[in-house]
Amino acid sequence: KYFNSFFRTGESTESCGGADLSLKEREEKSQGDGDAKIKGTLRKLKSRRLNEEISSDSETESPQVSKKKDVEEERFDETAQEKKLRLAKLYLDQLREEEEKAAEDKSYEAAVIAGRLQEEVLEQKGKLQRFVARNYLVPDPVDFRLLRGHKLPVTCLVISPDDKFIFSASKDCSIIKWDVMSGQKLHTVPGGRKGTEDRHVGHTAHILCMAISSDGKYLATGDMNKLIMIWDGATCKHLQKLTGHRDAISGLSFRKGTHDLYSASKDRAIKVWNVDENAYVETLFGHQDAITGLDSLGRERCVTAGGRDGTVRVWKIAEESQLVFHGHEGSIDCIQLINEEHMITGADDGSLALWSVNKKKPLCTVKQVHGVHGDSGLEQPHWICAVAALHNTDLVASGSHDSQVRLWQCGDGYRNLQALFSIPVVGFVNSLKFSNSGNFLVAGVGQEHRLGRWWRIKEAKNGIYIIPLKKQDSGK
């Protein structure tokens, strides 16, 4: 036992000695590790100082980049719950912005719709007046286009509802359909000689008036042979012939939105036709002299100029009644509705007049609007040959034979006329029409007056002028 214990103690002493030896080694090792750490720390300090020197020489970071880094650090540091809350707030803000934008769009749409409805109501009442005249600028004559194709003076013209085509007619009995953009002839219906009425498809006498339906389906023309002819608006194919008047046809107009046709004649009568049924409806009497002009809009009524009888009449078709107006001193040669309740007329005494259907006298009369001509002491005013109005606005135009087309602004309530500017056009301006968009004006010009041969302007060219109308940037 002693021996065994001796050996065990020996082992233990050896082990203790070994332990002492290992402790010494550990101390030496830890001392070496401490030196290494000190060296590593010094090395880090040196590298940090070097980095600071380099960064001081380089450009500083932009605030946006640093802010972005801060946000990224914050997001990196945020918890899952905070991230959910942040995303929820972003989503709610986005929804709120979308709702506000949708509300603004809805309110804008509602305002636009309300404005349109109000305009429609005013238009139906005949009280709509858009103030656009002041937005128009004086056109440059370089931009004018003259379309020639008629051999004799142009007497009348109409513009298609979409403003793409122009139809013109002349004393040479022909009808031409023009393309507005290119100025090319699309269709020509040649005139025939007198005595060939039985075999010629078309007119054989001077065409004095024409009208187109509001959908562009039908074109109507009237001549000095008492005939009204109906044509296909697209192909210019002859469809039918209306007879019944006892003298030259001097005015034609389709009721807006329908195919009801009103016709006026030098026989002092107005007739109503249903073109769809090729049927005559009724005749209205009242004028004491040859009717020189006729116009209509959407209501079941038309207005006429009575020439030498000095009257303007409003014909209420359904009530079978008429209103009579007096105002001009000379023969009233042209008439045009501005809206359902206001109209403009021109006479051979050189005067323009604005009318309301509610007053028997003109609201406004301007005399000698195109000046005078003739020898000293024998001056005569230039006749008003044509008038035009841009519907439901304050812009009107007049034409004569003084080589000028004049544009006018109607005052508030159509109680006065103010001159805007003049457009040089040589010859008798026998017809004037504004495009529906108001972007151009078309003038039918000839060497002679459409109703006779009292004068002749040799330097004039028979044709139609397309006059672009420019607006200011603020114009609508």
Token digits for 304? 């006429």
Q: Cα angle at 398 between 394 and 402, to 5 degrees?
A: 150
Evaluate whether 403 touches 424 at the Cβ level (below 8 Å).
Answer: yes
CB atoms within 10 A of CB 378: 8
pLDDT value of position 1: 41
Token digits for 82? 């905070």
Report residue 325 CA to chain centroid gap. Answer: 34
Residue type, 452: G
Burial, 39: exposed, middle or buried (Cβ in 10 Å; 0-12, 13-18, 19+)? exposed
Give buried/exposed letters for 50-74 (b at 16+ CB in 10 A, else e). Answer: eeeeeeeeeeeeeeeeeeeeeeeee
HSE value, Cβ hemisphere, 13 Å, CA-based, for 446: 29
pLDDT value of position 259: 96
pLDDT value of position 402: 93
133-468: which CATH number, 2.60.120.560, 2.130.10.10, 3.40.50.12240, 2.60.120.330?
2.130.10.10
The end-to-end CA distance of the chain, in Å, is: 126
pLDDT value of position 122: 67
pLDDT value of position 105: 73
Q: What is the length of the chain? A: 476
Among residues 267, 221, 256, the alpha carbon closest in space to that of 242 is found at 221
Token digits for 73? 């650090």
Q: What gap in Å lies between CA 56 and CA 58, rounded to an integer? A: 6
Q: Cα angle at 32 between 31 and 36, to 5 degrees?
A: 115
Maximum distance among all alpha carbons in the chain?
171
Q: What gap in Å lies between CA 19 and CA 25, rounded to an integer? A: 10
Say which residue the tokens 């046709």 belong to: 261
Could you tell me the CA-to-CA distances from 135 to 342, 355, 410 in Å, in that order?
A: 22, 24, 13
Give me the tens of pLDDT residue by residue for the chain, a chain 476 residues long.
444 444 444 444 444 444 444 444 555 555 555 555 555 655 655 555 545 544 444 444 455 545 545 545 555 567 878 888 888 888 888 888 888 888 777 776 766 677 666 666 666 666 677 899 999 999 999 999 999 999 999 999 999 999 999 999 999 999 999 999 999 999 999 999 888 888 898 999 999 999 999 999 999 999 999 999 999 999 999 999 999 999 999 999 999 999 999 999 999 999 999 999 999 999 999 999 999 999 999 999 999 999 999 999 999 999 989 999 998 989 999 999 999 999 999 999 999 999 999 999 999 999 999 999 888 888 899 999 999 999 999 999 999 999 999 999 999 888 999 999 999 999 999 999 999 999 999 999 999 998 888 889 999 999 999 999 998 865 44
Q: What gap in Å lies between CA 182 and CA 410, rounded to an integer? A: 33
Helix, strand, coil shares, percent, the chain, to 5: 25, 35, 40
**Residue 82 parent element (H or E):** helix 80-125
pLDDT value of position 453: 82
Residue type, 394: D
* All structural domains of the chain with their residue ranges: 99-128, 133-468
pTM, entire model: 0.74
